Amino acid sequence: MAQHTRTTTVIQGYLDELAGLQGDSPAAPVVRELLGRAAARLQALCGTLLFRSYPRLTRPPLNLQTEEMLGSVVERLIKALREARPGTVRQFFHMANQHMRWELNDLARRLDEQTRVVPMPHEVAALAESSASQLSLVARRLFEAIDALREEEREVFSLIRLQGLNRSEVAEVLGVSVPTVQRRLSRALIQLSQSVGDLRPISEASVRE
């Protein structure tokens, strides 16, 4: 908890410095320091998202690893932060979450296109369609459902289920009570169960206490 608080405070300091830049002041050094300090948390988030929701990308032919994904996401964030100025740690990690999902969706889409182009025996093609493509469909539908949540519910769900924070940490980041976090998480889980329950049950059992 103390380490989380220190990291959050330092990241907020860099965001404040970035927001305070005037005119042609170079933002690149501040952005590098910001991403360097956030790297450990970003890497953990990349790994969670990759192996939990897109495991097929970790297998041949892509063999995607967390470090590779982190590099691509950092490149996206460097470009995004040339114009965007998230004012809070909460907004910064919301932006990071978006770019992680976009990166993985782009990779999954390109993999699907390559699979369709390469000639394969009928039996192999049928197997690929029934496994990898279905997994891609599940991941896409799940993240579409997450994006459709109300802002408050989506934020709490992302912080707990994707970033791995517990309820107390989320309450501190958002400036609300733990019971409020729990109510928002419960509403998110109910809506997601209704949206994608036919694909995969959404269970709260794995949420950290």
Q: State the CATH number of the domain containing residue 206.
A: 1.10.10.10
Do 180 and 113 belong to one domain?
no
Q: How far apart are CA 133 and CA 129, in angstroms?
A: 5
Q: Quote the pLDDT of residue 117.
A: 44
State the residue for tokens 């897109």.
Answer: 54
Range of the domain at 60: 2-147
Q: What is the mean pLDDT of residues 134-146?
A: 69
Q: Quote the pLDDT of residue 90.
A: 86
**pLDDT averaged over every residue in the chain:** 79
Do 80 and 130 belong to one domain?
yes
Do 18 and 59 belong to one domain?
yes
pLDDT top residue among 151 and 3 = 151
Do 138 and 174 belong to one domain?
no
Do 49 and 93 belong to one domain?
yes
The answer, yes or no, to whether residue 199 has pLDDT greater than 90, is no
pLDDT top residue among 63 and 3 = 63
The answer, yes or no, to whether residue 139 has pLDDT greater than 70, is no
The answer, yes or no, to whether residue 175 has pLDDT greater than 50, is yes
Q: Quote the pLDDT of residue 184.
A: 92
Do 25 and 115 belong to one domain?
yes
How many domains does the chain fold into?
2
Q: How many CB atoms lie within 10 A of CB 56?
A: 18
Q: What angle do CA 198, 202, 205 make, to 5 degrees?
A: 150
The last residue of one of the domains, among 102, 124, 147, is 147
Q: pTM higher than 0.85, yes or no? A: no
pLDDT tens column, 76-127: 999 999 888 999 988 898 899 889 988 988 888 887 776 554 444 444 444 4
Q: Residue 85: exposed, middle, or buried by beta-carbon count in 10 A (0-12, 13-18, 19+)? A: middle
The last residue of one of the domains, among 112, 147, 182, is 147
Token digits for 156? 């709490």
Do 131 and 68 belong to one domain?
yes
Q: What is the mean pLDDT of residues 5-31?
A: 86
